[in-house]
Amino acid sequence: MIVGIFGIGRIGKVHAENITRYFPDIHIKAIADPFMSEESVNFCKQINVPVITNDCNVILNDKEIDTVLICSSTDTHSSLLIDSANAGKNIFCEKPIDYDLDKIKAALNAAQKNKITLQIGFCRRFDHNHKSVHDLVQAGKIGTPHIIKISSRDPSPPPISYVKVSGGIFYDMMIHDFDMARFLANDEVEEVYTSASVLVDKAIGEAGDVDTAVVTLKFKSGTIAVIDNSRQAVYGYDQRVEVFGSKGCAINGNDTSSTAQVWGEHETVTDTIIKGMWDRYRGAFIAEIEAFCDAVKNKTEPKATGVDGLYSVLIAAAATKSFKEKRVVKLSEIVY
């Protein structure tokens, strides 16, 4: 597999580094970023990337490159996706494909028309803890799902400048959880209701967003999922899921840095949970690339498809609408 990477920000570097370390069969031939910094150039050199460029066309026009990773800013995803698909390249695209439903549709059409493999970067589907719960559900251990609970809380809020352009908590943060809910329920959402507040930082409210949100999803089967998000969990990056069903309950907890504890006179103290996203999902970032390679090689359906990318945005749109209109919103109301 000969790979080109669009965008060499944080997530681009993570994928490039993981590929260099763990995937000896993948050759990163080119990395393109219109805003390539000196530090990024050095990074690319250190991992022996032959072609380092500001120009995305270098990758698009390179016939040898059969696969691309789209790790650039969200507003460039759909056009790069369409161009890459038209150039016949397999595509791993970071989420979200776009916030605009028409652009998503165009991107999915291009992927389908060109019969390339498209996987969306819903890394959490590949996380050891979440995947275990998913697999236990799929193995029938809990029977039919009745209630799904997802807690997803960031250690600290992003800068207000970012909040303003983020698309809001439902597009920016909870989108992962919408995908997780669909992944765990193995079903499609019908109704969405949002209850949300500004409790962490007033400035987030002034920027037109909320920082604390609980969204209830009703699936076609009647399964109910409830997701809670907070922009600030001081104790760490809180990532838990639970699927309750007719035969039992599958549930996970947070990872900790160690299993050590101290039994003291007045309290028992255990290690805190892992604080950073990059640490928490370190294994998931590797596993999603491995799964993508498998899908490309075996020409099988990826485990996080373009349609998954579309649906998470549809639900984000419904959740936003529900919040604004203070009412339950049917997914069918979101037209595209």
- Residues between 271 and 330 that touch a copy of itself (CB under 8 A): 271-273, 326-328
Query: How many Cβ atoms from other residues are within 10 Å of residue 324's Cβ?
Result: 11
**DSSP string computed for 46-109:** HTT-SEEES-HHHHHT-TT--EEEE-S-HHHHHHHHHHHHHTT-EEEEPSPS-S-HHHHHHHHH
Which one of the spans 53-61, 113-121, 221-229, 285-293 is the region binding a copy of itself (CB under 8 A)?
A: 221-229
Regarding 117 and contact with a copy of itself (CB under 8 A), the answer is no
Tell me if 208 contacts a copy of itself by CB under 8 A: no
Please report whether residue 233 would count as binding a copy of itself according to CB under 8 A. Answer: yes
Binding mask 63-102 for a copy of itself (x = CB under 8 A): ----------------------------------------
Are 180 and 303 in contact by the 8 Å Cβ rule? The answer is no
Q: Which is nearer to a copy of itself, 92 or 244 (CB)?
A: 244
Does 188 help bind a copy of itself (rule: CB under 8 A)?
A: no
Choose, by CB under 8 A, the member of 115, 208, 265, 298 that binds a copy of itself. Answer: 265
| Of positions 25, 115, 267, 298, contacts a copy of itself by CB under 8 A | 267
When asked if residue 230 is in the footprint of a copy of itself (CB under 8 A), the reply is: yes
Phi, psi of 197 (to 5 degrees): -145, 165
Q: Whose structure tokens read 């020409």?
A: 299
Cβ contact 304:119 at 8 Å: yes
Contact between 250 and 243 (Cβ < 8 Å): yes
Q: Is 335 in the site for a copy of itself (CB under 8 A)?
A: no
What letter would DSSP give residue 120? E
Q: How far is the CB of 223 from a copy of itself (least distance, A)?
A: 7
Secondary structure of residue 329 in the 3-state scheme: strand
Residue among 126, 127, 15, 125 at smallest CA distance from 69: 15
Rule CB under 8 A: say whether 228 interacts with a copy of itself: yes
196 versus 207: smaller Cβ distance to a copy of itself: 196
The span from the CA of 171 to the CA of 316, in Å, is 5
Minimum distance between the CB of residue 224 and a copy of itself, rounded to whole angstroms? 5
Task: Verify binding: residue 133, a copy of itself, rule CB under 8 A.
Answer: yes
**Using CB under 8 A, which of the segments 174-182, 262-270, 288-296, 308-316 binds a copy of itself?**
262-270
Looking only at residues 30 through 69 of this chain, which bind a copy of itself when binding is defined by CB under 8 A?
Answer: 46
Rounded Cα–Cα distance for residues 260 and 258 (Å): 5
- Among the listed residues 63, 115, 259, 299, the single contact to a copy of itself using CB under 8 A: 259
Phi first, then psi, for residue 283 (nearest 5°) are: -70, -35
Q: How far is the CB of 123 from a copy of itself (least distance, A)?
A: 15
